[in-house]
Homo-oligomer: A and B are copies of this chain.
């Protein structure tokens, strides 16, 4: 079969069989296919592809036997096919132990029919040509630009990434925070997402998000508005943003030094399953994840769950408890140990080694807003409420001047202390003396 991938040498037209074979695998396997990931890790992408092309023509038992021989002859050490069968470790001697245990046959029995329809007429060239026509790059593990954080996904790591924009996705995302949330965001959510995007960009942190309406696009726009760089992960191909209405901002993102990235080849439509798998890439790619608005059941919560599984710092932005699209964020704060994030400084602080966010300035507006239990706080901020000065000022009356002795009784202070304090307050202009008695000036 001329032109068939299995018949191509590893020194093909692109000059790189590994890259070509990984592109082919991303055509064959759906995002997050851990069986494909394990075989590719064990044999290398070209040999894994050759094996798969033969394997779909035989039985799972034979496919496994050959896989074992290939691995024994020089495949990567220690790689294992995922063993997700319940009871896999029972019933067969040696099952569940060592690489490629017998139970793997059941994993292959599911994977091979899944791959077969796409292997039958496999040709990644149109997708690669499309990528080249857009000036894009195929990123593969271990090569320059590949973000090592993705390897934390193990066999479920992307086999490759189809990227436009800056090809050094590793450098671009080294200091990055994922800002994710509801498509059906409120004006509040979009404002917060935009502020986070801008504030992170100003701190030199790359924003990572999807390409949806609502929080995603608001975060990108916020970063771009201040000259920042952002990365958008799409659930379909890089030519298939969803919704298409966000094409303009995604193009600008590429022009401004960011990256538009997809795990599936061009032409792949987004689907619910691919959105979920895309979320794992966002969680793995970013140094931390912040959820801005999310309903009780929201895809953003899957991103959050993946981030938590990967031990990535997780933040959630609070909102009104009366807002349905903040329910998911509050759930994360209550149940998932998410950190309460209220501004970009706190979002950046999630990144390891970051400086703690400074306390907000103690400006008058905040001081004046102080409430419960400080009825006369405004204008008397100079004294701690329990200080003698504050207690003396509180004990004075506006309508009747008091003697120091009476002030002492009212304040519960020693008279000598009251006399000394009144003297200081008089110097500060806070009280005035009238024939041996005292009045507040303010």
Contacts and interface: CB of A to CB of B under 8 A. Distances in A.
A210 B33 CA distance: 58
Contacts of A360: 296, 327
A385 B210 contact: no
A192 interface: yes
Interface stretch (A11-19, A43-51, A127-135, A373-381): A373-381
B413 A371 contact: no
A371 B183 contact: yes
B188 A320 contact: yes
A356 B319 CA distance: 22
Interface string A180-196: 11111100100110000
Nearest to A317: B321
Residue picked from A210, A278, A324, A359, most chain B C-beta under 10 Å: A324
Interface string A324-338: 111101100110000
A372 interface: yes
Residue picked from A114, A242, A272, A322, most chain B C-beta under 10 Å: A272
Interface residues of A, number: 97
A224 interface: no
Contact of A117 (B191, B243, B334, B408): B408
A300 B414 contact: no
Contacts of A202: none
A117 B415 contact: yes
A153 interface: no
Contacts of A62: none
Nearest to A184: B371
Given A367-B297, A417-B113, A391 B271 contact: yes
Nearest to A360: B296
A176 interface: no
Contacts of A377: 272, 297
Interface string A86-101: 0000000000000000
A421 interface: no
B180 A372 contact: yes
Contact of A365 (B215, B318, B324, B391): B324
A231 to B, nearest CB: 16
Contact of A413 (B114, B188, B327, B374): B114
14 contacts: A114-B412, A117-B408, A182-B369, A182-B372, A183-B371, A184-B369, A184-B370, A242-B375, A273-B385, A297-B377, A300-B373, A303-B373, A321-B343, A334-B339
